[in-house]
Chains A and B, each alone.
Chain A
Amino acid sequence: MEEKNKRFTKTYVSYFILVFLIMLVIFLIINLVNNFYILEKKEIFASFIVSEHIGFDLNDSALTFGLVQPGLSSSREISIENKYEVPVLVIIKSKGDISEFLIVSENDFILKPNEKREVSFSVFPPKDIEFKEYNGKVEIILKKTKND
């Protein structure tokens, strides 16, 4: 009886491991297919400070929105130009605690070769936001369109 129980447990564990590995394979294949289309990724630091004052910080290597009052807004733009010979799909993502206050004017758009577009980023801190610095990263991902 004990031998039978042991065998049952062993089989159960084996199946569990197998199911886990199969799920991992599926995840890796999806990731691989997604990554296969990625041409380039760029990360830009982004920040704003909630303050009673209004302030500018025109850093040209980061999306710094300066000092913003609660309930109001600040915006900056990034110019993106496609220097590839093929159309690219531009996907914009954000990370960090700035994410929930950051809005981008357009996302998931296609840029033709040599086409240039200015994308606007705005932060909208709500009226009840805590007075402190909020930061994170904006990730700009370029993907080859699936038709190419």
Chain B
Amino acid sequence: MTKKNLIKKKIDTTSLIGYVAILVIILSLANIGIELTGRVTDTGSIYMEIISETNINFSVSNVNFGNGNLDLGATSATIDTLGNVVNGNWTAITQGFIIENIGNNNVTLKLASEKTAAQFLSGTNPVYQYNISNSEANSCTESEVTLGAWTDVNSTSPGTLICNPLDFVNSQNEIRIDIKLTIPSDSNTGEQTDTFTATATAV
């Protein structure tokens, strides 16, 4: 046997491909086996629960009161999302926030702002309030606030319980949140933004 033939026999590519192919098949079967059966040598399991609570944030800057000034000589101006503008030249807006319960459970709903009136507006006697109303009749059963009345914002987490519950039935699962600001003449200038957090918990 020549040296060349000996090397050829030692490194026979075709045979090598065959051996590696067999190895691929064995490893593939082992992978499938582990994937299907999992390992059974450890006892126990994991307990997992999706918590029936959620937080959604929304920003007051989204309401977009736009630019405006106090009337000359006025000590404060009041604007709200119900279309009222008093002592100022802001454009009247009539769009509050709509919150829907699109799930399959009644929920309790808490509302918290990030800032207080003083932090948001500053100045002398600023007012920062919200007003909860049913956008669809019988959606919200009032709790710590009176529906349709202006209430000072609460910046202490998780906020004020506003609906107990907010219904999930399609024709009665929607509320509206309106915002009112009384801006003192010595308040912050420039764009002001605050974020509300609405926390819903299934009941």
Q: Are B55 and A81 in contact (CB under 8 A)?
A: no
For A66, give the chain B residue with the smallest CB separation.
B102
In the bound complex, what is the Cα–Cα distance between A88 and B44 (angstroms)?
11
Q: How many Å from the CB of A27 to the closest CB on chain B?
A: 9
In the bound complex, what is the Cα–Cα distance between A29 and B30 (angstroms)?
10
**In the complex, chain A residues 64-95 whose Cβ is within 8 Å of any chain B Cβ:** 64-69, 71-86, 88
Count of chain A residues with a beta carbon within 8 Å of a chain B beta carbon: 61
A75 CB contacts on chain B under 8 angstroms? 54-55
Q: Are A78 and B51 in contact (CB under 8 A)?
A: yes
B3 CB contacts on chain A under 8 angstroms? none
A72 CB contacts on chain B under 8 angstroms? 56-59, 62, 195
Q: Are A42 and B46 in contact (CB under 8 A)?
A: yes
For A90, give the chain B residue with the smallest CB separation.
B46
Q: Is B99 an interface residue (CB 8 A)?
A: yes
Q: Is B74 an interface residue (CB 8 A)?
A: no
Q: Are A39 and B38 in contact (CB under 8 A)?
A: yes
A61 CB contacts on chain B under 8 angstroms? 50
Q: How many Å from the CB of A57 to the closest CB on chain B?
A: 4
In the bound complex, what is the Cα–Cα distance between A116 and B47 (angstroms)?
9
A55 touches which of B34, B43, B48, B100 (Cβ 8 Å): B100
A106 CB contacts on chain B under 8 angstroms? none
Q: How many Å from the CB of B133 to the closest CB on chain A?
A: 15
Q: How many Å from the CB of A123 to the closest CB on chain B?
A: 10
In the bound complex, what is the Cα–Cα distance between A82 and B109 (angstroms)?
31
Q: Are B24 and A25 in contact (CB under 8 A)?
A: yes
B101 CB contacts on chain A under 8 angstroms? 55-57
Instruction: For the A-B complex with A58-B201, A83-B45 known, give 4 more contacts whose Cβ atoms are closer than 8 Å.
Output: A32-B27, A35-B34, A71-B59, A81-B48
**Chain A residues within CB distance 8 Å of chain B:** 11, 14-15, 17-18, 21-22, 24-25, 28-29, 31-32, 35-36, 38-40, 42, 44, 52-69, 71-86, 88, 113, 116, 118, 140, 142, 144
